[in-house]
Structure 1
Amino acid sequence: MKQYDAIIVGGGACGLMCAAQAGLLGKSVLVVERNDKVGAKILISGGGRCNYTNLGTSIDNFVSENPQFLKSVFSQWTVEDTLDFFESHGIFGEEKTLGQLFPSTNKAKDVVAVFTQILYDTNQDIVLNSLVKAVEKNEEGFLITIENKKGEQHLKTKKVVMASGGLPVYKLGASDFAIRVAKKFELAIVPTAPALVPLTITGKDADWYASLAGNSVFSRVYNKEISFEENILFTHWGLSGPAILQISSYWRAGEEFYIDLLPQFKLEELIKEERNQGGKRLVSHMLNDYFTKRMVEALGKLLPIETKIASLSKTDAKLIIDTIHKFKVKPAGDKGYDKAEVMRGGVSTAALNPKTLESKQVAGLFFGGETVDVTGWLGGYNFQWAWASGYAIAQAI
């Protein structure tokens, strides 16, 4: 039986970076992947283009019970390190919006190919279509039980890296296996939930949202904690779009948030300007300057839009201003793990060494990527965390 320096559970972004870096350091690792190919989630990210980092990455772009935990890992592997690493293997980045970096080839498979080539060059092993059934600790290290078409196999190793991701997306083999392993070894867990996920609206407001399905509006979405300025998308079941996915990571069931539907203008000033010009136009005519016809019609169900601006009472003017700039949303729920980009929560950072990501109470057991209570914003941040955590673990291996 071949002895490995480490067995890596999961061939996603964190697992591949960990295996590649370990191989470059002369270590022997085995990557166990349940899919028929590695990097399944990388391949579908960014519509198959892979937004592989964000130039503006800082700890402020992450949701965690202890964001300060990231400082140690990010000091070891920076955005500059990501750029240098991929450029040295022929992948050059192109910035799109908000610091998001994509391969100039626009092909996620080129990102995966970097890792498979390194693993081939350094003689690392990968087993595909294989499910890790159990992780046991013994005096010599760990005994890993895997199951595939050959049946059950038992592998020995000194170190285990849990890089099996979170619960999104089931069809790509997502599972809570890393969480179950952590619980078995009595590590602290931060409750998990879907994040970067569309939100649903039910009840009396559902038809109003559904009537706008397909309408995209550049907005500022905000709560007491944070705000995001990007597009929102109305759907048949509620709200989606980048700004909604972002705020979802900060939303909890039963809470409200607000949408400024016209963040680049002040409606109070627009109304004042109209009045200075006589105020002969209807409110609907003014709103047509900024919104689609369908959006204005929908707002007409909430506002006195067929009133001349000169005739608006203070109460009606305030209603219009508040509705446009402070549109209150109270979602019924979210679309679940299968529509979520990532999982919030996971293995508590308090249970891990901030430099190595090794369990403080189980020597040789590491957790990286999405398995940890570190959730990045939309826009390449989660990949940067995956690369950095994979690198840090490899140094410890």
Structure 2
Amino acid sequence: MSANLIKQTDFDAIIIGGGACGLMCAVQAGFLGKRTLILEKNDKVGAKILISGGGRCNYTNLYASPKQFISENEHFVKSAFAQWTVDDTINFFETYGITGKEKTLGQLFPQSDKARDVVKVFTELCHDLGQQIITEANVKTIERANGGFTVAYETNASVVILQAPKVVIAAGGLPIAKMGATDFGLRTARNFGIKIIDTAPALVPLTITGKDQQWYEQLSGNSIFCRVWNDRASFEENILFTHWGLSGPAILQISSYWRPGEFIYIDLLPNQNISQLIQSEREVTGKKTLLNFLSGLYTRKFAEALDGYLPIDKNLASLSKSDLEIIDNLIHHFKVKPAGDKGYDKAEVMRGGVSTDELSSKSLEVKKVPGLFFGGECVDVTGWLGGYNFQWAWASGFVIAQNI
């Protein structure tokens, strides 16, 4: 394998990773007259953008604020979000032809419902601004040299070594290895002695094993609007029963706050009181069975699956006080102890990453390694489901661009 040493380049910075953060960083740097080079491992940039939201790309959330982010330092994102707001994201994309439409809970998608339109904005701007992109570039090492950095990458069976004054790590996190995800950002941080907050899959389905697994399997495909909570967080959205456990938006959300061995709790009828509903129905007709009553609230299949937990064959008039307590407890405090999660291949994002203690919140530069920056998913900043993580990617890319 041959190596070509290029002692200097005229790039102001080399950006590792052509995802949301790296692309925004390159474009914003270009607006400031700075030259950057993106090194992307895949054969095209924006791989995760293209699959996000089922290929539709939920590119921000109207309600994004520091409150929707998990980090060891809950205040860390405030500076970046002050520098690049949701309005900035909306205006940026509108300027280049993408108008957003809100689906639910503030989630903004392109009117076209095509994620490739989002990527196209960046690739065209990079071309127009003279920002260089090299794909199928597998970065091997980053080292300090001559007041800057050398970056060695492998391409076409040869190793190219470039030098630049600054380096941006926007290489993403561990989820979805088939999309090119690696631990490169974390490995690089460790090589520079930078602290890492323990990582784990986040926004990920939860698994059920053992004696309860068959019960969940029989309900596969059933979706119910619920409130899901633990002692850290609470979410009201749909849950989805699957062959291996639980998924759906509410489960993905709570997974970021769940730890192995813990319980989660589900209110299967949020904002209503099952006992009061039963009492009201009794006044109309007490002859209806609990099964038929529950079939009016849920699917018949779900109501039937509660046999063994609830006296579903009893008519409403004959339900005792004890029966009502059991019903109330199951419907409003359904208790689940997941066995685990579906792992990084099914996770939307990664929890943990480069410690925010190591970075300047104003510039995202590593405090003890001047000229080295980290942004996007490899930093210990994890957003909720619904466009929040994209907002962090855009904001962190913008902030870094101002400082390289």
- 1:321 paired to 2:334: no
Select the residue among 344, 364, 383 that pairs with 2:390.
Answer: 383
Letter in 2 for 1:107: K
- Aligned counterpart for 1:37 among listed residues 27, 44, 50: 44
The count of corresponding residues between Structure 1 and Structure 2 is: 397
Give the 5 Å matches for 1:200-279: 200-277=207-284, 279=286
Matches within 5 A, 1:119-134: 119-134=126-141
Specify which of 84, 87, 106 is matched with residue 80 of structure 1.
Answer: 87
Partner of 2:363: 356
Moved more, 308-317 or 357-366: 308-317
2:308 pairs with 288, 301, 314, which one? 301
TM-score relative to the length of structure 1: 0.98
Partner of 2:319: 312
Give, in whole Å, the separation in 1 of the partners of 2:216 and 2:308.
12
- Paired with 1:194 and 1:346, the residues of 2 have a C-alpha distance of 11
Percent identity of the aligned residues? 62
Q: What is the DSSP-based 3-state SS (H/G/I as helix, E as strand, rest coil) of the residue aligned with 2:373?
A: strand
User: Counterpart of 1:85 in 2: which secondary structure?
Assistant: helix
TM-score, with normalisation over the residues of structure 2? Answer: 0.97
Report the secondary structure of 1:355's partner residue.
Answer: coil
Q: Which moved more, 1:246-255 or 1:307-316?
A: 307-316
* Aligned equivalent of 2:72: 65
Aligned residue runs from structure 1 range 132-143, under 5 A: 132-143=139-150
Q: Which moved more, 1:137-146 or 1:202-211?
A: 137-146
Distance apart, 1:293 and its partner CA: 0.9
Deviation per CA, 1:8-47, whole angstroms, max 9, x where unpaired? 0000000000000011111111000000100000001011
State the Cα distance separating 1:265 from its structure 2 match. 1.9
CA deviation vs aligned residue, 1:46-82 (integer Å, no higher than 9, x gap): 1111000000001111111112111100000000000
Deviation, 1:379, is: 0.4
Q: What's the CA shift string for 1:264-313, capped at 9, x where partnerless?
A: 42101012213334522211121011011110111113111111222222
Q: Which runs of 5+ in 2 are unaligned?
A: 1-5
Output the CA distance in 2 between the equivalents of 1:318 and 1:363.
Answer: 62
3-state DSSP class of the match of 2:215?
helix
Q: Which amino acid aligns with 2:39?
A: V
Amino acid at match of 1:234: F
Q: Measure, in 2, the Cα distance between the counterparts of 1:222 and 1:393.
A: 36
Given candidates 2, 6, 17, the residue that maps to 1:10 is: 17
Q: CA deviation at 1:353?
A: 0.1
CA distance in 2, matches of 1:150, 1:89: 38
1:160 aligns with 2:167: yes
Residues in 1 aligned to 2:34 and 2:112: alpha-carbon distance in whole angstroms: 31
**What residue number does 1:340 align with?**
347
Cα deviation digits, residues 68-101 of structure 1 (max 9, x gap):
1111000000000001111111111011110000
Report the CA distance between 1:173 and its aligned residue. 0.5
Note the residue ranges of structure 1 that are not aligned, 5 or more in a row: none
How far the C-alpha of 1:179 sits from its partner, in A, is 0.5
CA RMSD of aligned residues (A): 0.9
Output the amino acid matched with 1:35: N
Return the letter of the residue paired with 1:45: S
Separation (CA, whole Å) in 1 of partners of 2:13 and 2:326: 62
Q: Distance in 2 between matches of 1:124 and 1:312?
A: 71
| 2:194 counterpart of 1:187 | yes
